[in-house]
Structures are given as C-alpha cells and as structure tokens.
Amino acid sequence: MKPIFLFSTGLLLALATAAVPFAARAAEPPVVVELFTSQGCSSCPPANANLIELTRRPDVLALSFSVTYWDYLGWKDVFGKPQFTRRQEIYEPKLGQPGPFTPQMVINGQASTVGFDLAEVESLIAAMRRPAGAPSLTLRGGRAVIGSGSARGEGADVWLVLYDPLTREVPVRRGENGGRTLAHAHVVQDLVRLGAWEGRAASFPLPEPEAGLKSAVLVQERNGGPILAAATN
C-alpha cells in the first residue's frame, strides 16, 4: 500500500504543478488576433479557417474584420465596412508594412503575419507579453471598468467591438471566390470608440448589443499601437 500511496501523491503533485502555468495563463487577458480578410480575396479562406480554430482557445480573442478594397473584383463583401479598412491602414506603418493586404493577422497590435500557418500564428501568440503598466479591464454591470496604469505617449483609445460569436457561411456568387461558400467566425459588425484612457482608473457605459452579438472592449495605444488590455462578455 505504501508505494501506491507515494505514487499517487507524486502524481497529484505533478498534476498540480503542471496546472499552475495554465491557471496563470487563464488569468491573463486574452491575446487579440485580428484577421483582415475579404470574400473577394482568393487567398483568404485558409486564414479564415485558422481564425475559426483560434476562436476555440479561451486565451485568445479572435476577431474577423472584412475590408472593402477588393470589392471592385466583382463581389462586395457582405460584412465589409470602410471603417474596418481604415483600421487596417492605420496599423501598417507601425507594423513595417507598405500598405494593407489580405489576408493579414495582427496579434495584439504588435505583430503581423498572413495567417496561413497556424503554428506560426500560435508562436506569435505565445510570445506576446503585456506591456509594462498595462491596466486591468473587466466588463461588469453594463460598464467597461479600467484600472490605473501607465499610459505612454498620447494615451490609449477605448474601443467597443461588436461581433457575431457564431460561424457563418456565405455563398459567394462572383469574383475570385465565385461559386464557393466561405466560412467566417467572430465577424465584427461594428467598431465604436468609447473614449480615452490616460492612466487613471476609468469606467465607460456599454450599450446593449443587438440580439445575437457579443461585446468586446480593447484598450489600445493610439494610432495602431499595442493593445494594452482586452475583455469580452
């Protein structure tokens, strides 16, 4: 009986030790992965599929932004909005890109990749570290509650993202993907600036989302800078 007891105790200790890093990761804010995509882009479906995989991770907030600059090819993206195109354009100078392209995944506002290789994307996610002085962020009681911290430069914007938590399939009838049905997950429907965060604790009211949508809030350094904090309901 004694050897069995020792083995069991050792096994429990090993399991508890292994669980600590996982618990610590779970307590961290999610890493935000933004996919800029278009139904008019023939190379986008593999990145769309990888984003769908990322939506299954509790430590990742995966968001799909449909851009509009490929609409001229014969198919207007049904989810596309100029404000999403503008968001991508603002990112590019700081990410060292000459201009917007699809597909593009931006990780926490700090790294960029086309998103074809899921292992590469997951490596970038694993490498992300919270910037020094990043604030806490919680969504409760219909408000976004942001803690105090260190606001660099011009401070940060507080963004409300309204997105569809389900996977949607869209039949594309024309353009480069004509005849295909494309799957999309966590499609962003609207992006609204709630205000500014300048280092002091702050709270912002959250409008009730439309039926079927979820809310996420991003605290992000201005002009396409790093995302300091993120939360979703």
How does strand 156-171 pair with strand 104-107? unpaired
Question: Would you give the distance in Å from CA 214 to the centre of its chain?
Answer: 13
Closest CA to 87 of 145, 157, 29: 157
Maximum Cα interatomic distance, the chain, rounded to a whole number of Å: 75
Instruction: Going residue by residue through the chain, which has 233 residues, state the pLDDT in tens, using 9 for 90 and above.
Output: 333 333 343 433 344 434 444 444 446 899 999 999 999 999 999 999 999 999 999 999 999 999 999 999 999 999 999 999 999 999 999 999 999 999 999 999 999 999 999 999 999 999 999 888 899 999 999 999 999 998 887 889 999 999 999 999 999 999 999 999 999 999 999 999 999 999 999 999 999 999 999 999 999 999 999 999 999 99
What DSSP state is assigned to residue 128? -
The domain limits of the chain are: 29-232
pTM: 0.88
Q: Per the structure block, which two tokens stand in for 82?
A: 């100029």
84, 114, 141, 165 from 224: Cα distances, Å: 13, 18, 29, 24
Tokens of 80: 């596309």
